[in-house]
Each structure stands twice: as structure tokens, then as C-alpha cells.
Structure 1
Amino acid sequence: MRLRLATYNLHKCRGMTGPHDPLRNLAAIRAVAPDVIALQEVDFRYGLRPEALPRRLVEAETGLVPIDLTGTSESSLGWHGQTILMRPDLARVARIRRLPLPGLEPRGAVAAMLPHLNIFAVHLGLTRGARRMQLARLASRARAFGGGISVLTGDFNEWHDDRGLEALSGFRVIAPGPSWPALRPQLRFDRFAISGEAEVIGCGVEDGTVARIASDHLPVWVDLDL
């Protein structure tokens, strides 16, 4: 089985400077054509943290559906701003967990367990010390889950390739290319960390015209043969 996995920080669907326009983000997702995509910053930050990405638009615009996830509040799409979209046939068999992460600021990961594949959607902290603790927690949970292949994916908030990722020993870390800032990408914040017997067929960055204005991040993707 081959799957295209992707990750995308939506920046609350505000583009680089606004206005709020989720249809641009959904068009960028459609251009990637993923089977599964981890999303960050899907909710507004304050108050009841209502959804910035309207769930009513997702399936009609992309063919994907949000996982069955209890959000941060009743009006939220995600948990700590994160969710995962999947093909409907995959969403029907996925088992979902929420994983609190250490650090001074509230952070958490979302895990979706499919047959032979566990996907951890992450948005790591702003300090390297917090990111190291969070990756250590996630790597430990991924190993404990077992079940074949595990993929940690999301906005790692880490600009170096040779530091801050020590906890991912035994994982293949793939950063498809510069993805931030979207208008002139310089840094490879958005990554995949893969463990288990999966062949990487290809990877890339969606840098089309819409993607460059829809968020401050570009979507990135990887094709896996499971």
C-alpha cells in the first residue's frame, strides 16, 4: 500500500497578513492530494478557541474528513490547535489518542492508529529544551505503541538539522525542503520522522501560487510504500 502523508501549519487560515480565508488553505491541501494530512493552528487561539478551518467545508473541498477528535472546546476543530484529515475509508478504522506534552506552554500531540501505521501529529514548542523533552516523550510513545511503522510529523519549530532532534535516534528524519516563511522559504520547520519498514518513494514542498499566500508555512509531503 502506498500513502501520501502531508503536514501543514495553517496559521489560523489568515495567510501572511490576513484576511481569514480558509478556502485558500483548502485549495493548497487539494493541490497536495494527500491521503492523510496533519494540520496545525486549525483553531483561533483565544477564548473558546473556535475553529479557524470550518469543518463543514473540509470534505467538499478536499475529499478528506477530520478524525473523530474531542477538541479543545466544543467549538474547536482540533486539540491544542491540531487535527488530522484522512480519506474517509481510513478515518473509519483509525483509533485516536490525545497525548499531552511537557513544557511551560500548553502543548499536545494527536495520534491516529491505522493498521500497520501510527501517525503522530505534532506542533513542538518554541524553545529547544521544550522540543527535546517533547520529542523524547513522543519517541517513547511511538515505540510503546508498536504495530509496525510510526510517523511523527508536523511543525517541529527547529531550524537546525544537527541539533535538537537527538531523541529521534532510530528514526529517519525527512525535511522535504524549506517551508517557512511561505513567500520566501528559508527554514525547514516541517518534517517527518519515520520508524519501521517503510520505503520513501518521494517527498516535496507544495509551493504553488495559492500555497504561498494561504499561510506563513508551505505544506510538505512524503510518499510511503508500506
Structure 2
Amino acid sequence: MIRVASYNMRKAIGTDRRRRPERTLDVLNELDADVIALQEADRRFGSRASALPFRLIDEHSDYKPVPLDTRAGSIGWHGNALLVRKKVEVLDRILVHLPSLEPRGAVMADVRIDGIDLRVVGMHLDLSGLWRRRQATAILDHLDARPGDPPRVMMGDLNEWSVRGGCLREFAAHHHFAECGRSFHARRPIVQLDRIMVSEDLRVVASGAHHSAAARKASDHLPIWADLAPAA
């Protein structure tokens, strides 16, 4: 069994408007996932440094960031980052440029977890429905162009309020969705903006949104998770 998770951590600023990276890390530790896709992982202004200090991640969790070779001090690419357990082997990673009016990107990594290879994509899509669909197509094209064909996991904040339409149609062509439930707003979730999508060679054993007391305060989004196994 492999657990994956996705979390729009809002730059470690909670619903109390306080920046508390320790609280964000508490939520990540609660998830106990093998791979976590983060959105809004870097500060927005200045040097765009990681909102989670590297030392804090190293000393107070079992995670390590997937190295993305971006700017010094940053954990992500346009706010997107991937964390994996320290024992997980990172085989490859790339930055995915997305079409948009404002800078947007996605991150992709091939990882090996207990002998199982996965191709993982983390994303934070546009507020515009037209650009979301274009970005979904760009991500799928990048996946198809990569060598090899390991099982795929795509996750992140899709900003899609539709239940089945919009960019969900593009992703659903060859992937299925984990039923994680509503994740926004964290205090009173009313919509599924955050999604986990997997290729047909994976099955979702269990999934959900993480509703701990810490998660309800640490961001305006709840983290979502899914337990995966190879399809029969």
C-alpha cells in the first residue's frame, strides 16, 4: 500500500492569519504519506524562499523535498513542491511549464517506493476555466512524452468548481479520481478544489480529506489523501 497526499498549505498561513510553519509540518506528519504534493509552498514575494524551512523539515519530519534545481532557498516551482519520505528514491524530476497569463507550472518526479515505481505530478491550476483546460492538456502531453510508463499519480489544487466538467474531462479520459470529498474552505468545506487522479493500473483502496483540528487551522484548504495499490 502506498499513501499519497496533496495540500494547498497557503504559505503556512492559517485561518487565524498567522504564519506558523511548525503547525503546517504537524499536519504533514499527521498525513503519514509516502509522497505529498504541496501548493503555495513558497513565499510569494522577495526571494520566494520556502515557507517551510529546510531545517525544520529535516529535523521534525521523515520527509525530504524532491530537489527541483530552482532558485536558492526555494522548495518549489511556482509554489508547487513534492515531499517524499527520506527512504524513497527519487529517480528523475522535471519542471513543467504551463500556458497561462500569469506564471504557472507543475512539478513531476519518478520515485521508487518499496520497489514500486510511480510517476507523480503536483499542480496548482489557473482560476480561469479556459486556461485550466489548456494546462490540463499540457500536463497530459508532458506525461505522454516522457520515456517509460510507470503508474501515474496526479494531484493538486485544480481550482475547478465543476463536479464533472471543465478540466476534469481532460484528466478523466485515461485516469480515475480518488473520492476525497470536499476540502475548501477548511473551516466549512463546501467544494472539491483539491483532487487526486491515478492511472488505470492503480486502484484507490481508501481516500478522504484530513479533518484534524490542526488541519482546520493551518490553511484555508484541508489536505486530501489516498491509499493506492496496483490494480488487479
Scaled by the length of structure 1, the TM-score of the pair is 0.94
> Retained in 1: the 8 A contact 2:66–2:90?
no
Distance in structure 2 (CA, Å) of the matches to 1:209 and 1:140: 39
What one-letter code is carried by the residue in structure 1 that aligns with 2:164?
A: D
1:86 — aligned with what? 84
- The number of aligned residues is 223
Answer yes or no: is 1:184 the counterpart of 2:197: no
Question: Partner of 2:170 in structure 1?
Answer: 167
Q: Note the C-alpha offset of 1:62.
A: 2.2
Q: CA RMSD in A?
A: 1.3
Stretches of structure 1 that go unaligned for 5 or more consecutive residues are none
Alignment of 1:14-163 (within 5 A): 14-71=13-70, 73-90=71-88, 92-115=89-112, 116-145=117-146, 146-163=148-165
Deviation at 1:43, TM superposition (A): 0.9
**1:31 partner SS:** helix
Question: C-alpha deviations, 1:28-85, integer Å up to 9, x for none?
Answer: 11111101000011111112212211111113322111111123x2132211011101
SS in structure 2 at match of 1:45: coil
The runs of 4+ residues in structure 1 deviating greater than 6 Å are none
Read off the aligned partner of 1:138 and give its amino acid letter: I
Is the deviation greater in 110-119 or in 19-28? 110-119
Corresponding residue number in structure 2 for 1:194: 198
Partner residue of 2:223 out of 209, 219, 225: 219
Q: Is the 8 A contact 1:175 1:190 kept in 2?
A: no
Tell me how far 1:175 sits from its aligned partner.
4.2
Measure, in 2, the Cα distance between the counterparts of 1:33 and 1:183. 22
CA distance in 2, matches of 1:122, 1:87: 19
| Higher mean displacement: 101-110 or 17-26 | 17-26
Amino acid at match of 1:30: N
Unaligned runs of 5+ in 2: none
- Where 1:93 maps in the other structure, the secondary structure is strand
Q: Name the TM-score, length of structure 2 as normaliser.
A: 0.92
Check the 8 A contact 1:120/1:151 in 2, yes or no.
yes
